[in-house]
């Protein structure tokens, strides 16, 4: 096999350098993809925990009318609805269950 000229050697090295650069870019894309997947999974995990805790809080509040959990949960929902009144239909049945008992007057009966 004939020896390469210096120009051919330079061209071959430049091609190797470009191939390495392209592989580096591909590796960077893979790393970004994996990190993004990790963040997405962490977000899903946090959402799942919030759903489980929230559901437990709601169930407790429904079953225990005089509990502090009920008062806090109701206060959280009402504060949310002040900021996002369009969400009220989503909470309608829940708020009806949580309504504080109103004192009844015997004179009205």
What does the DSSP assignment read for 36-86? HHHHHHHHHHHHHHHHHHHHHHHHHHHH-TT-HHHHHHHHHHHHHHHH-GG
Tell me: the pLDDT tens digits for 6-40? 999 999 999 999 999 999 999 999 999 999 999 99
Tell me if 9 is assigned to some domain: no
Tell me: the pLDDT tens digits for 63-91? 888 899 999 988 998 999 999 999 988 88
Domain count, the chain: 1
Residue bearing tokens 């470009």: 18
Q: What is the DSSP letter of 35?
A: H
Tell me if 8 is assigned to some domain: no
Tell me if 40 is assigned to some domain: yes
Tell me if 77 is assigned to some domain: yes
Tell me if 6 is assigned to some domain: no
pTM of the model: 0.56
Tell me if 48 is assigned to some domain: yes
Task: State the Cα–Cα distance between residues 109 and 107, nearest whole angstrom.
Answer: 5
Tell me if 7 is assigned to some domain: no
Domain that holds residue 32: 15-99
């Amino acid at each position: 096999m004939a020896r390469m000229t210096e120009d051919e050697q330079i061209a071959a090295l430049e091609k190797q350098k470009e191939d390495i650069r392209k592989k580096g870019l591909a590796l960077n894309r893979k790393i970004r993809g994996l990190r993004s997947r990790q963040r997405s999974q962490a977000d899903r995990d946090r959402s799942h925990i919030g759903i489980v805790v929230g559901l437990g809080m709601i169930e407790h509040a429904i079953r225990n009318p005089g509990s502090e959990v009920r008062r806090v949960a109701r206060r959280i929902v009402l504060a949310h609805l002040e900021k996002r009144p369009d969400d009220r239909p989503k909470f309608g049945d829940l708020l009806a269950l949580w309504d504080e008992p109103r004192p009844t007057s015997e004179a009205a009966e």
